Chain A
Amino acid sequence: MNDGWNIVVCVKQVPDADDVTIDPDTGTLNRSDAPAVLNKPDHNAVESALALRDAVGGTVTAVTMGPPPASAVLQAAVAAGADGGVLLTDRAFGGSDTWPTSLALARAAEELDADVVICGEESTDSSTGQVPPGIAAHNGWAQLTYTESLDPRPDEGVLVGTRDVEGGYERVATALPVVVAMVFGANDPRPAGLHRKIFAETEFEPVQWTAADLGIEDRVGLVNSPTKVGGMDTASPVERERTRVDSVEALYDHLAEVL
């Protein structure tokens, strides 16, 4: 393991969450055609992958699953410093919930002979956090979710992660391969270098794999997704008084009723 680790970083394209607000009267989203961007927590995953490569050597390969335009997030990872990118793209993947999605990423990680797979904490558009442990489970690998920092021990073939647990933290040593999910905000992502950025935008072409390339064409997509959306209801907006007061005294009087 002294020639470095194969590091795979999983990234996802999501609608930009920053300018989305709720209309208080209808309870619907004011989404103003939010542009598609790299899932924010994935920036921390990319940074961790690059920092790990700095520490132990090896390569960083970004992987995403989605239609061809999703390769934009691979480009972002390459601009930040990833060595290459793989796009898992196939109509067969359509409608996949977290079970087949984590299978596809797990198979890709296997194909890439990954030592470490790094993901973001969760995606901002579906926020389940289920894909990283799902990848680990599909491959029977170790997992480190809610990880704040990584301490690689390449001589022992061990990765130590500090995990955020309720009420504190824990340090866990895992055998390789291991799937890591970094806590959102765990690090300060480095800015993309100019040359790398130009390379990503002009020369970089992702490798493309289909479900058949991964040998899972019969195990993905809507039909292999255990969960089905049974219905969507507009969440009834929480009724609020929306009373403006113009003095602290008036505010206190209202609060006195509550307290």
Chain B
Amino acid sequence: MSAASGPGIDVADYRDVWVFVEQHEGEAAPVSWELLAKGRELADETGESLVALVVGDGVAHLAEEAVARGADRALLADDPVFEPYRADPYGEQFRALVEARKPSIVLIGGTHTGRDFAGRVAVPAHAGLTADCTELAVDEEGLLLASRPTFGGSAMATIKCPAHRPQMATVRAGVFDAGEPAEPTENAADAVESVEVVVAEEDTLSTVLERVVGGVVDITDADVIVAGGAGCEGDVTPLVELAEALGGEVAATRAAVEEGWVEPARQVGQTGKTVRPQLYIAAGISGAVQHLEGMNGSDVVVAVNTDPNAPIFEHADYGIVGDLHEVLPALTAMVREKQEVAA
């Protein structure tokens, strides 16, 4: 199949798997390494090279780490214009690199930064871009099969990009495993190529006036999550105490976040985070599909709800009908008691 319209490209000119290494102030976003590990698998299958794309200011160490983590090569665009992240200079640099080097596949983290970047750079490349993929594979012709849950998570749609390149996909944090971090080998630097920076500060369209990060929890790392919904009725203390006793984190539905009971960074679901803890306790959560989508990958799900017919019970391993304001404190007391005995 040829590109009937669009850029009229020859897809055979495009090869290699690229991973965009998202970083802020020299620190890589964890999803970058998860994608690098997945990209390694895909590149091995297509027999192509895995290339890390590292853009920033003073980020050569990340290019070397990418090589240590399995990239065959790293492309490094290192310049003050790239810190902090802005869509327009990153987009312009990416456009130039794609034109010159023609990657076949590009993987990008499904963070706010990654989605901002992916949406911008897919357009000039006339690339196919699939958002929030949960499975990535290649078919016998080397085409990327990018699968994502469709609305509500009831079905998986597999998206292909037969006639356009690159084939781009974003993937949320926590979907793939990063593997073990490796020490940079002595010759890692040899596999890093500094590329020409094509953006000048005076050509940019935006200025970051202030950037305040840190001190915000990352619930995607937690092994245990105690999540609350509308049933909290303004009191999340039982969640906090149980999470503390279990060494876990508090999370919430969109409804609880909108009420202001729990901070937005802890929201699970379609417009929040995707989590896969060992234990997910859903308290006072009815089980709307938008929420289920964000927690369905949890190992064990517990539901606590006053409504015996709440849909969440159908998506839980263990369910108890009751008020979370009674059930959770009782459970917390029991957990603490056993811990004391054990101590």
Q: Would you list which residues of chain A between 68 and 99 have a CB under 8 Å from chain B? A: 97-99
B115 contacts which of A124, A129, A168, A224 (Cβ < 8 Å)?
A129
Q: Is the CB of A240 within 8 A of B301?
A: yes
Q: Is the interface of A mostly helix, strand, loop or mixed?
A: mixed
Q: Would you list which residues of chain A between 194 and 248 have a CB under 8 Å from chain B? A: 218-219, 223-224, 226-235, 238, 240-248
From B56-64, B80-88, B183-191, B231-239, give the one contacting chain A: B80-88
The distance in angstroms between the C-alpha atoms of A24 and B5, with both chains bound, is 43
Count residues of chain B with CB under 8 A from any CB of chain A.
97
Min CB gap A61→B, angstroms = 23
Min CB gap B130→A, angstroms = 6
The distance in angstroms between the C-alpha atoms of A146 and B128, with both chains bound, is 22
| A177 to B, closest residue via Cβ | B205
How many pairs of A and B residues are in contact by the CB < 8 Å rule?
278
Q: Is the CB of A218 within 8 A of B5?
A: yes
Q: A20-B289, A137-B119, A258-B279 are in contact. Are A174 and B315 (CB under 8 A)?
A: no
A127 contacts which of B120, B212, B270, B292 (Cβ < 8 Å)?
B270
B300 in the interface (beta carbon within 8 A) = yes
B152 in the interface (beta carbon within 8 A) = yes
A251 in the interface (beta carbon within 8 A) = yes
| A245 to B, closest residue via Cβ | B320
Q: Is the CB of A224 within 8 A of B209?
A: no
Query: Which residues from chain A contact B182 at a C-beta distance below 8 Å?
Result: none
Q: Is the interface of B mostly helix, strand, loop or mixed?
A: mixed
Binary interface encoding of chain B residues 203-217 relative to chain A, with 1 for a CB under 8 A from any of its CBs, else 0? 001111111111110
The distance in angstroms between the C-alpha atoms of A171 and B211, with both chains bound, is 6
> Which among A28, A102, A136, A247 has the greatest number of chain B C-beta atoms within 10 A?
A136
From A2-10, A46-54, A159-167, give the one contacting chain B: A159-167
Query: Which residues from chain B contact A219 at a C-beta distance below 8 Å?
Result: 5
Q: A226-B127, A226-B163, A258-B278 are in contact. Are A249 and B151 (CB under 8 A)?
A: no
| A257 to B, closest residue via Cβ | B300
Q: Is the CB of B123 within 8 A of A223?
A: no
| B166 to A, closest residue via Cβ | A226
| B213 to A, closest residue via Cβ | A168
The distance in angstroms between the C-alpha atoms of A246 and B308, with both chains bound, is 12
Query: Which residues from chain B contact A244 at a C-beta distance below 8 Å?
Result: 313, 318-321
A160-B209, A242-B316 are known contacts; what are 13 more A-B pairs with Cβ within 8 Å?
A22-B154, A28-B154, A142-B205, A143-B88, A167-B216, A170-B208, A175-B205, A227-B161, A230-B145, A238-B297, A240-B315, A244-B319, A245-B319
Q: Which residues of A contact B (CB under 8 A)?
A: 15, 17, 20-22, 24, 27-29, 41, 97-99, 102, 121-122, 124-134, 136-138, 141-146, 160, 163-175, 178, 184-185, 218-219, 223-224, 226-235, 238, 240-249, 251-252, 254-256, 258-259
A-B pairs, top 7 by smallest CB distance, nearest first, are: A133-B119, A226-B128, A168-B213, A137-B123, A226-B164, A24-B314, A142-B205
